A and B are shown apart, each in its own frame.
Chain A
Amino acid sequence: MSTATAKKPRLTTSAMIASIASEGQRTIAAPFGKALVTLAEQRPEIVGLTADLAKYTDLHLFGQAYPERFFQMGMAEQLLMAAAGGMAKEGFMPFATTYAVFGTRRAFDFVHQVIAEENLNVKLCCALPGLTTGYGPSHQAAEDLALVRAIPGMTVIDPCDALDIEQAVPAIAAHNGPVYMRLLRGNVPLVLDEYDYKFELGKAKLLRGGNDVLLIASGIMTMRSLEVASALAADQVDVAVLHVPTIKPLDTATILAEASRSGRLVVVAENHTTVGGLGEAVATALLTAGVSPQFRQIALPDAFLDAGALPTLHDRYGISTDAMAKTIKTWLA
């Protein structure tokens, strides 16, 4: 019998704008765009700029609400960043959006020299951070945090969910200086409303306590860490989750206080390569303070990542909830 007649398995897809929400998860649509529209009512100095990605960064909502304050820069990210800097020099507060790969890799010198060197009040909000698209390295910003962390004076935000984004928008606007915020767009999961949590710039927040493992995470990896904590609780493993939405400046005091508690495995989980992200930042903070718990990193490999469906890739690279739980159990064994 020919194998050609056998029923083929249904192949997974690699949609560019795959939602990171799992089946049945509560979501909020376009939290960034809505929060910006609301804030801009009271802040007439806010302007929006994009490089042909308004619809894909939820900035189109701002453009519809304030057409005279919305500026289309075309698919030209160097112009986007420099023009945002120019508008900031004239007293405006530009929110500039594109994908993270273009905002960091493509336009790096313009972010560094035009915006950061003069401490201009530009908010870069960049979608598809880390591994949140299956389109391969052209669109996967696995190293965005390493790049922007290296820029002096840059504040770096990695929000977890819709609530985080909604609260981070006014918080980064209240901060005078350049900010890079990883953007989750479209239908964004809502997770943190179940916790006693409020976004505060520069603050890490303990979302749940636990005696066996301390998971330090940012961005969507905080959501995954909370799921891992629930899953491992069934196995009598007690997992604490510390959410670090501000990557720079790092809340070293809170991290050290939590990591200093003896007897816990410390795991940093990040949607970013092992190079130059939260894991290395935390490791440096711990070593510098002479705190040396058992330390592990869950992160993307230092490699050009595969194309494919996100669930497949998150499993492959160990950042899905199941993969994380399995890895942590191995470390505890």
Chain B
Amino acid sequence: MNTPSDTGLQAKLAEHAYRIRRFALQMGEVQGQGYVGQALGYADVLAVAYCHAMSFRPDDPEWQGRDRFLLSHGHYAIAFYAALIEAGIIPEDELESYGSDDSRLPMSGMATYTPGMEISGGSLGQGLPIAVGMALGLRLKGNPAFVYNSMSDGELDEGSTWEAAMGAAHHGLGNLICLVDINNQQADGPSSKVMGFEPLADKWASFGWHVQRVDGNDLPAVIAAFDTARQLAEAKPRVILFDTLMGKGVPFLEAREKNHFIRVDPPEWQQALDILDQAQGAAR
């Protein structure tokens, strides 16, 4: 049963998630494209990460005590920039530059371009092995920060993901938390057709990880999963498998034929924003 403080936290995070969705749609409208289906689906996870779970200083993105968030799936940059804006690391007016020449917000995330972007993702399957090195480094320095590696379910196809899964367990990396967005969509179609990965929880558990699988659009569940992953005493790496719905929050995009790259027609950007605004207005 929810306590009043839980309810307050959920309402606060729902507001953050709404704003992250909104920023992502605004960026998508700038370019007339972008991975907005994924952004809408993953916004709740990003809201909990940046507005509840992680330690960071918005005005000092390289603060040594920060929790590291690695965007392995570089094409989720549109979602991530929205979260960085909501976290106060990137100014809101910069979203108009998304994907433009010489912008700090390129279409695929790169560490050398954007404050708060820890790695250059996009060559999928690289985030988790980098996270292993960072977690080893933090532990050696005695720095208690967590390393979060955020990845897509398509990256489960990459052998390097499993090299890193073995390595993280072997080295007992209790400061490593892996977040997997399971929307079951890859470039060539549903993941189950491209390269089936189930039973996924069993796979990670057999690799020596602490595993949770939750509905990534159920805020209380997402909050609880982050809290559990951070508070676990055992010296083992933790993974949270988030089942998410692409287009979440905009019913006509939720219902649209599922593709890696959801089509959005020009007038639909504003319609989607209006739907989000109405729903959030009603919830307040």
- Give B142-158 as 1s and 0s: 1 = Cβ < 8 Å from A's Cβ atoms: 01000000000000000
Number of interface residues of A (CB under 8 A): 28
B123 touching A86, Cβ below 8 Å? no
Contact of B160 with A by CB under 8 A: yes
Interfacial residues of chain B within 156-196, with CB under 8 A of chain A in the complex:
159-160, 163-164, 166-167, 170-171
Interfacial residues of chain A within 85-119, with CB under 8 A of chain B in the complex:
85-92, 94, 109-110, 113-114, 117-118
Q: How many contacting A-B pairs (Cβ < 8 A)?
A: 95
Contact of B244 with A by CB under 8 A: no
Instruction: Flag the segment in B13-21, B33-41, B78-86, B129-137 that touches A.
Output: B129-137
Expressed in whole angstroms, the minimum distance between the Cβ of A48 and any Cβ of chain B is: 12
A83 touching B133, Cβ below 8 Å? yes
| Among candidates B119, B134, B160, B170, residue contacting A87 with C-beta atoms closer than 8 Å | B134
Chain A residues lying within 8 Å of B137, measured Cβ to Cβ, are 86-87, 89-92
A71 touching B166, Cβ below 8 Å? no
Contact of B112 with A by CB under 8 A: yes
B138's closest neighbor in chain A, by CB? Answer: A90
Contact of A252 with B by CB under 8 A: no
Expressed in whole angstroms, the minimum distance between the Cβ of A297 and any Cβ of chain B is: 34
B126 touching A114, Cβ below 8 Å? yes
Interfacial residues of chain A within 109-154, with CB under 8 A of chain B in the complex:
109-110, 113-114, 117-118
Contact of A169 with B by CB under 8 A: no
Chain A residues proximal to chain B, CB less than 8 Å: 47, 68-69, 71, 73-74, 76, 78-79, 81-92, 94, 109-110, 113-114, 117-118
Whether A47 touches B130, Cβ cut-off 8 Å, given contacts A74-B163, A117-B120, is no
A89 touching B141, Cβ below 8 Å? no
Chain B residues lying within 8 Å of A82, measured Cβ to Cβ, are 126, 129-130, 132-133, 160, 164
Main secondary structure of the interface of A (DSSP, over half): helix
Chain A residues lying within 8 Å of B132, measured Cβ to Cβ, are 79, 82-83, 86
User: Bound state CA distance, A205 and B136, in angstroms?
Assistant: 40
Expressed in whole angstroms, the minimum distance between the Cβ of B68 and any Cβ of chain A is: 8
Contact of B111 with A by CB under 8 A: yes
